[in-house]
Structure 1
Amino acid sequence: MTNPLNILTLSTLFPNAASPNFGIFVERQTTELASRAEADVTVINPIGIPPLPLRGLEPYRALADLPEHELWRGLNVYRPRFPLIPKFGGSRNPERIAAALLPLVKKLHDGKPFDLIDAEFFYPDGPAAMRLSNQLDIPFTVKARGADIHHWGRETKCLPQILAAADKASGLLAVSKALKQDMVDLGIESDKILVHYTGLDRHKFAPVDRSATKRKLDVHGPLFICAGALIQRKNQVLVIEAIQSIPDATLMLAGTGEEENAYRALADKLGVKNRVRFLGNVPHDDLPELVAAADIAILPSKSEGLANAWVEALSCGTPIIISEAGGARELLCSDTAGRIVEQKSSAIVDAVKVLLKDKPEQEDVRATVSQFSWQNNGDALVKLFTKIVRR
């Protein structure tokens, strides 16, 4: 038997005690990889801390109090700090991260050499991994997830770093075919990019007795859920506007973010305040029941790679209404599981009426994501990493 690969997973997106849901999809993927006999995994989750007086404010104060090394849900996680300049310092984050990480990575590498650096977000993780790779002669891969390409790829000081990391990497991954095409459009070599779909816990995200669960939630009409950060890109404003035209409907917003106050004000202005429930950050283990209870999950994002929330809703037997974003058409191949609509509240209303009138069977909806699993996700990673290391 060959020795397991010693993998360094580098991710600025990773849960912690202050933000337990932040980057949870990266944690799930890493946990699957770490469970394999073929891989030993060490996680480095760089934490950006700004100078005083900002570091004394939330969320930075809570982040500054995190342990720099811990066993997090069974994973060996280091959380070194790097200097962060909020809103203005994005173009220099990769070099700051690499400089902060180099002493730690060198020490760990000297003790037990890493075979591969696995960067889990294209920016800033990819260019930071490239710098570490250059210093320590370790091959690296980079995974694109959506906003890392769609946002940072438009920044003139960041795009050259993205392209340089793509060129130097031994392998690239994208969460959907659509995102792969977006990467190619930026100038990244197509043949180098592997489409790597998200995983799914089918036991956790499963149908429930919808009527009974709605009664437990004190919901007596149509129930909709929108799971995701309350930010402009996720476009929850359209869903709040839409429920004006859907009598007796209740909307659950699972998440927090910078737009929360504006969304609360909008719900009040439109007279639907009592029908919009702001749930805050719902623990991931509590989310499946809420998603499965909903008649429809409505997620009209402006941009996505391939949203985990889409896949998890379908696995719960809950049809989705989503916008033409990212891998939407890779996931929604028929009307059985929902509708792809224009980014207009009126389009959402029309789709809701159709789905409520002719409700699809929960098991039929669930069957549309039968190919998604953490087993398949982990198999693909092990295959790619082994191929790179054994070259």
Structure 2
Amino acid sequence: MLRVLTLSTLFPDATRPNFGVFVERQTRGLAALPDVEVRVVAPIGVPRWPLSLSARWGGLAGLPERETWRGLDLHRPRFPIVPGVGWLNPGAVARTLLPLLRDIRADFPFDVIDAEFFFPDGPAAVRLGAALGVPVSIKARGHDIHHFGRARRTGPQVLAAGRAAGGLLAVSAALKADMVALGLPEERIRVHYTGVDLDRFRPVADRVAAKAALGVSGPLLLSVGALIPRKSHDLAIRALAALPDTTLMIAGQGPERAALEGLAKALGVADRVRLLGAQPHEALPALAAAADVGVLVSTSEGLANAWVESLACGTPLVLSDAGGARELVDRPAAGRIVARDPAQIAEAVGALLASPPDPLAVRATAERFTWETNAEALRTHLAGIVAHHPV
């Protein structure tokens, strides 16, 4: 029996049901394996009073310290944060969690700590592993390497944690290459692709009817991602100006909303841009299956779950050459990879609208990304780390 302690600051809760939903789904897949037991520790950072009462953090106060979340035994300890000085968070997480993990080990002698994000989870997990004599795995997802791995105060912590960990995971081969370039040990990095629920994310029999149910006629584009500069939703809106009678839906929330609304109005396409806000994950299959093309031209990515979900719905993609894009868009049916230029984005979208690929051929490109494959690969990786850890 492999006993795993999953550590993740990215994990859904009652106030943030979409927060780290991909971590939850991966963890549930691992826990479902017959020879694996899992407990989850999802630390929540909260500032001291009176900031803890603000709208941003106040809702977290009512969350239980321990609960069963979708079948998982879950702890939600609070650790103190100082807004604006996030480089201190790994130490705060480690200090908060050490007594808790010692208590957990008393009746659940876990074999390995599975840290699901590189910062602050990774450095904290390495400290905890050293204190408890337990090996550590750290998973990189994209932003944690591209931002925290390169920032002045957090970069050295990421590098030290990666070198000390028993094994590392990357969501794409492209991200693995970025990790190696940063100075992390190539021989300890395994590419670990995400999964997709192929039963929920699937093509619809009638895309016209699916669009009509959303109040759309004519071509429909979908972009899924936070409204932040890195996602470059502004480029999709600019491309829309060259795509008459086409609607763009953007599912996500964030600080760029007002700027994107202003841009759409200035370009005269505000009536064809729908900012949907945050959408529950359960709503995404209907959106992705109704769309004719998925568009996401980020400046950086690991391998976005929304990409795989779009393909599983038979919807081709137009992506920038970021992260693992070429590992998904590896054949014409999957879509196009373009420069981050509105004219080239519009041209690629126009080509896919004029000659749409067979939805079943598009879906076939996603069928290798299953949660079952993901879980088996994770178990093999973690078991290998345990086997090679000195007793």
Q: Could you state the TM-score of these two structures normalised by the residue count of structure 2?
A: 0.97
Query: For 1:309, which of 306, 310, 320 is the aligned residue?
Result: 306
* Counterpart code for 1:226: S
The corresponding residue for 1:254 is 251
The corresponding residue for 1:115 is 111
Distance between the aligned counterparts of 1:54 and 1:274, measured in 2?
39
Distance between the aligned counterparts of 2:353 and 2:188, measured in 1?
43
* Counterpart code for 1:62: G
Structure 1 runs of 4+ with >4 Å offset: none
Distance between the aligned counterparts of 2:139 and 2:76, measured in 1?
20
RMSD of aligned residue pairs (Cα, Å): 1.1
Query: For 2:133, which of 134, 137, 150 is the aligned residue?
Result: 137
> Aligned residues, how many?
387
The corresponding residue for 2:215 is 218
Deviation, 1:14, is 0.8
The corresponding residue for 1:44 is 41
Give yes or no for contact 2:149–2:159 (8 Å, CA) kept in 1: no
Q: Does 1:388 align with 2:381?
A: no
Distance between the aligned counterparts of 1:127 and 1:318, measured in 2?
38
Give yes or no for contact 2:5–2:110 (8 Å, CA) kept in 1: yes
Distance between the aligned counterparts of 2:243 and 2:162, measured in 1?
47
Query: For 1:277, which of 270, 274, 289 is the aligned residue?
Result: 274
The corresponding residue for 2:89 is 93
Give yes or no for contact 2:210–2:290 (8 Å, CA) kept in 1: yes
Deviation, 1:101, is 0.9
The corresponding residue for 1:175 is 171
Give yes or no for contact 1:176–1:326 (8 Å, CA) kept in 2: yes
Deviation, 1:390, is 3.0
Query: For 2:157, which of 157, 161, 164 is the aligned residue?
Result: 161
Q: Does 1:27 align with 2:38?
A: no
* Counterpart code for 2:160: A
Distance between the aligned counterparts of 1:313 and 1:27, measured in 2?
20
SS of residue paired to 1:8: strand
* Counterpart code for 1:199: G
Query: For 1:196, which of 180, 192, 197 is the aligned residue?
Result: 192
Deviations 1:50-84 (A, max 9, x none): 12332222221112221111111111111111111
Give yes or no for contact 2:113–2:136 (8 Å, CA) kept in 1: yes
* Counterpart code for 1:165: A
The corresponding residue for 1:15 is 12
The corresponding residue for 2:182 is 186
The corresponding residue for 2:142 is 146
Give yes or no for contact 2:329–2:336 (8 Å, CA) kept in 1: yes
Give yes or no for contact 2:141–2:171 (8 Å, CA) kept in 1: yes
* Counterpart code for 1:166: G
Deviation, 1:155, is 1.1
Distance between the aligned counterparts of 2:342 and 2:48, measured in 1?
42
Q: Which blocks of at least 5 consecutive residues in structure 2 are unaligned?
A: none
Query: For 2:370, which of 361, 366, 373 is the aligned residue?
Result: 373
Q: Could you state the TM-score of these two structures normalised by the residue count of structure 1?
A: 0.97
Deviations 1:146-193 (A, max 9, x none): 000000011122122112111211111101111000000010111110
Distance between the aligned counterparts of 2:139 and 2:115, measured in 1?
6
Give yes or no for contact 1:38–1:382 (8 Å, CA) kept in 2: no
Q: Does 1:70 align with 2:64?
A: no
SS of residue paired to 1:19: coil
Report percent identity of matched pairs: 53
Deviations 1:292-344 (A, max 9, x none): 10000001111001111111100100000000100111111122111101111
* Counterpart code for 1:374: W
The corresponding residue for 2:317 is 320
Distance between the aligned counterparts of 1:58 and 1:231, measured in 2?
20
* Counterpart code for 1:174: A
Greater CA drift, 210-219 or 263-272: 263-272
Q: Does 1:350 align with 2:350?
A: no
The corresponding residue for 2:120 is 124
Query: For 1:331, which of 328, 332, 343 is the aligned residue?
Result: 328
